[in-house]
Every structure is written in structure tokens, then in C-alpha cells.
Amino acid sequence: MKKKRRSPFDIFGEDWPDIFGDDFYERWKNLIERMMSGELEGPGIYGFSVTSRPGEEPEIREFGNIRPYAGDIEIGERRPIVDVFESDEEVQVVAEMPGVEKDDIKLDATETSLDISAKTRDREYSERVALPARVDPNSAKASYKNGVLEVILMRVEPKEKRPPIKVE
């Protein structure tokens, strides 16, 4: 007697489709069924990070190789996990890209963005990072160690220093 394969969504109970809506449920269910049937090869990775800075809207960045689009979900090149930090003088971009060598990485910077890509026989990464300040692309310095890429770019205009506000 053949056992029926359980749906990964069973862990959420009968209310699962109501949590995010039927469309969300159906797209992800379809993707998982395609992966389990062998139609899609390789691992499917999806995640997101949320950065919240005081006084600003939270920034949500997706990573992985699963792309949820209206109407379907597809698997493509991976988006690395990226963090962006800024100081008065520079902007620092940190990207996690395990499984590639430094010679596989290609970087292209403009005053407002940084394009990161890497391609090997087994993995492919690609991401365009919007920078929080204008930078000098010629000042870029990059290092790659243990799967972590770090790029430092000098700001074109130093961050404006604001005088402290006295509380009375």
C-alpha cells in the first residue's frame, strides 16, 4: 500500500489559506509540489531581512533564488543576504555569498548603486543594491573572506553634522 505524501502546509492546520489568502497559498503549494516531483532541480531558498532605522520606514530585502511574482513563483539566480551600513564618511555593503571564489565576483558601482554578481558551475548570485548616499565609485575597496563580501565606498558629500538639540 502506497503512503500518501503529506503537504508541508499541514503543519499550519486548516486555517492556513486564510492567513495569507488563497492566492499566496496556491502559488507556494504549486512551487513545493514542483520541487518534490523533481520538475525543479536544485535547492529552493527564500528569505527576507528587515532593517528598521529610527525615523525611517522599515526596509525589507529578499534573498535566495525563489522569486514570488504575481501569478507564479519561479526559481532563478540567488540573491545574497545584504546589509548596508553608513557612517559620516563612507558606505559599507556586506553580502553573504558562500560557495564562490573571489575571482568569480564581479562588482559595478555608480554614485547611487552597487551591482554584485558571481557565477560558478554550481551557484549564481546577482543583486543591485541601492546606496543610502551618493558615493565615489572610484573609491571602492572590496574584500572577500569565508563567503562574505565587504565593499567600502567613500561618500561624495560627508554626512551633514547636526547640532544637538537642547532639552529644557
| pLDDT tens readout for residues 28-70 | 777 777 777 777 666 667 777 777 778 877 777 777 766 655 4
* pLDDT at residue 83 greater than cutoff 60: yes
Indicate the class that CATH gives domain 42-154: mainly beta
3-state secondary structure the chain: CCCCCCCHHHHHCCCHHHHHCHHHHHHHHHHHHHHHHCCCCCCCCEEEEEECCCCCCCEEEEEEEEEEECCEEEEEEEECEEEEEECCCEEEEEEECCCCCHHHEEEEECCCEEEEEEECCCCEEEEEEECCCCECHHHCEEEEECCEEEEEEEECCCCCCCCCCCCC
Q: What pLDDT sits at residue 70?
A: 46
Average pLDDT over residues 83-88: 90
- Residue ranges of domains in the chain: 42-154
The pTM of this model reads 0.60
